[in-house]
Structure 1
Amino acid sequence: MPRGVFITLEGGEGAGKTTLARRLAEALALAGQPVLRTREPGGAPGAEALRALLLSGDVAWDPVAEAMLMFAARREHVAKTIEPALAAGAWVICDRFADSTLAYQCHGHGLDPAVWHGLYDVALPGFEPDLTLVLDLPAEAGMARAVARGAPDRFERLGPEFHARVREAFRRIAEADPRRCALLDALLPPEPLYAEAAKVLRSRLGAPL
């Protein structure tokens, strides 16, 4: 059976990743393509337990410890959920992946990127997304959306300077790896944003959209 395709969606708070992931998964399923929609941190039982600690807990984590927890959750996610789905031929659409740790813990909190690279090499040797859609919008617009949808999590409560650094980090990630990444304007309404994403999936992956 042909191996599936791994697609990640990245971006700051309120960028519309969850909505776009759902829309893409629905369209692929309607076209007859086996698809799995998942998220990070989370996506496997152990990873979901760590998600609760990372997003809802009251601990002010040391940046290295926080990155280690993110990669521990990610390893569980890949081993227990993502790899089996890819091996079965499914297209996997993931709301956040390793780029988020680089953007949030390294560029946002100031963690040395060498720590991120070391953790990646241990947790995910040779593994990377086939395509990453980076949803870009100004940090203030994203935070306004995040506040409107309900009680903020631990990352959403961080200040505007932090979120501005995260936004710039995602832009740099997309610019540094144009083979893997596509930068999309997340100020677009949901349907035009979906149309732009579908165009990228068709041209780069031959998606039946």
Structure 2
Amino acid sequence: MIKRFFKFIFKTLLWFVVLSIGLVFLYKWVPVPATPLMMIRYFEKQEAEKSKGWKHDWVPIDAISKNLQLAVICSEDQNFLNHNGFDIKAIEKAYKHNKKGKKLRGASTISQQTAKNVFLWPQRSWFRKGMEAYFTFLIEWMWSKERIVEVYLNSIEMGRGIYGAEAASRYWFKKSANNLSQLEATAIAAILPNPRVYKANPASNYIQVRKAWIVKQMNYFGPLDYANNEENAIKN
């Protein structure tokens, strides 16, 4: 009986690994049609709102303004191009900050957020964090940094029922994601900590302050060059 139980557990784990690797490999090339969060948000809606569905228009990264790509990296994970999915220094800082009893600070990278958004659910638990680490490792292993940003910007929540850069651009600024100006891009990036509460347009005083900060970070960061950075990473 015990032997059969462990055999079942082994087969289950083996199938999970095979299927998860296969899915991550598939999403290296194929657009992500929907995420668990989209489904959860849909069923959370009142019956009268469900007919509206959600707005989600996948576009290739070439159709997303570099302004938005850079604004999100500078606001969410400035070390994104240099780490392997986990920013150890940011984790240490967050741990020390939270240990003092201050307002909780997170240290999730764009890679971790992508893994959570695409493959997992938003609940906080050690099990989910472990799964998040597993999928973060997989996407960092199989995808390029540019692909991670492409999936991230096409999948994250950017307003109530608004998912991805294209839908957000059209909702907030009535234009395609490819045509976002720097200030428009920073407005969208500024609401990401809580896109169901904050508005990119018109922006509150708090969002205006965040926009100004993000612009400064973008100027410090300089041009966004995925290829050059990945070549340097391989050499090092």
Higher CA-based Rg = 2
Q: TM-score, normalised by structure 1?
A: 0.29
Q: TM-score, normalised by structure 2?
A: 0.27
- The structure with the largest helix share of the pair is 2
